[in-house]
Amino acid sequence: MTEVILDFISSMGIVNMDWRQLVMILVSCVLLYLAIAKGFEPLLLIPIGFGMLLSNLPLAGAFDEAISSITVLEAGKESILAHVETSKTAGLLKYLFMGDELGIFPPLIFLGVGAMTDFGPLISNPKSILLGAAAQFGIFFTFVGAILLGFTGPEASSIGIIGGADGPTAIYTATKLAPHLLAPIAVAAYSYMALVPIIQPPIMKALTTKEERAIVMTQSKPVSKKVKIIFPIVVTIVVSLILPSAATLIGMLMFGNLLKECMVADRLVDTATNSMMNIVTILLGLSVGASAEAEIFLSVETLKIFLLGVIAFGVGTATGVIFGKIMNKLSKEPINPLIGGAGVSAVPMASRVAHKVAQEENPSNFLLMHAMGPNVAGVIGSAVAAGILLSLFG
């Protein structure tokens, strides 16, 4: 009886927990607190935080690898090489993570994003493309920084994409170039996306004056339905012919947008924006969070990635705002520099932040739709930047 009790005690998770797992459990609880109590992007942080919690519970096996066989070398009078067959299956979250590793979930997210996005503000104000492009400078700045810190070209490329504030693109790039860094890159990308309302405002305010933040922009020109239908088709063709490696992400983004704008596929749009988007978000969030196992996550490399990630995000925001200031000086029509900060791609969070900061100076200033131009340009820009890096190092 005593032996049975001891075996039961030894099988308990709490007996087998080490300090690293405890740290990761605490980190997961912090993410859940930020999502639930503070409202920081709960649709992202709740699945990520809970996935992280499940994978770091000792002996729970939620993220275990599948084992089909084990080779054992027994030492004795004669060395015997024994092949012992096993049938251990992987944990549930490990199977879900295959959707990330195989590059399935990120393009599906892009499909849903495309079906929810109105490219009208970008089409009516093509100059927004420049602001979206300027905000991608953070990607290439961080790429250089990662190289200087000892990462290889493919690794640096995957880390740099965090600066685009685009989680699916970061995951997709990492699966192609640096799969061994997928866990910290994915968690860093989605964590910083969720923290947009905290990271961006101080940078925006530091780089602009009160007068610039209070600038009221003129009403955008209306865009015809025909142009909105042609736009995703043309973008897919042009980008894919120039950068074939970006075709999957851009193609799915534009396919979703075409479904929305053609207005003859309402059932598909409803599925893409609701059921499918919600399901893939849950699966992606859980599997990304579960990939943050203590043994992998608590390392010097991971700390470097998180440091480089926040630098990338900050630089991308700063360059977007600075370029907005330059455009305001050169343009005949007033341009509020804050919309440049929305070029980092986190749709529509970055647009809402720009709008909120502008209203703090001028409550009657409605900047949201103007900020959406650079914001959706940033989505395209981050996918194009990923395509460039995939072409160079893939």
Q: Taking 60 as the threshold, does the pLDDT of residue 262 lie above it?
A: yes
Of 232 and 300, which is predicted with more confidence?
A: 232
Pair 169, 139: CB distance under 8 Å: no
Residue closest to 141 by CA, chosen among 116, 159, 119: 159
Q: Computed over its alpha carbons, how large is the radius of gyration of the chain?
A: 23
Give the angle subtended at the CA of 156 by the CAs of 20 and 148, to the nearest 5°: 95
Longest dimension (CA), the chain: 90
d(CA 103, CA 201): 33
At residue 276, the 3 state secondary structure works out as helix
**pLDDT of 58-100, one tens digit each?**
877 788 877 665 555 555 545 555 555 555 677 889 899 899 8
d(CA 329, CA 174): 39
**pLDDT of 41-61, one tens digit each?**
788 889 999 999 999 988 777
**pLDDT of 109-162, one tens digit each?**
999 999 999 999 999 988 888 888 888 888 988 899 999 999 999 999 999 998
Strands of 60-174, DSSP E: 67-74, 80-88
d(CA 261, CA 379): 18
Phi, psi of 332 (to 5 degrees): -70, -35
> 166-170, 203-207, 334-338: which has the minimum mean pLDDT?
166-170
Residue closest to 138 by CA, chosen among 350, 378, 335, 372: 378
Strands of the chain, DSSP E: 67-74, 80-88
Taking the model in full, what pTM does it have?
A: 0.86
- Could you count the other beta carbons within 10 Å of the beta carbon of residue 153? 15
Residue closest to 344 by CA, chosen among 217, 141, 185, 193: 193
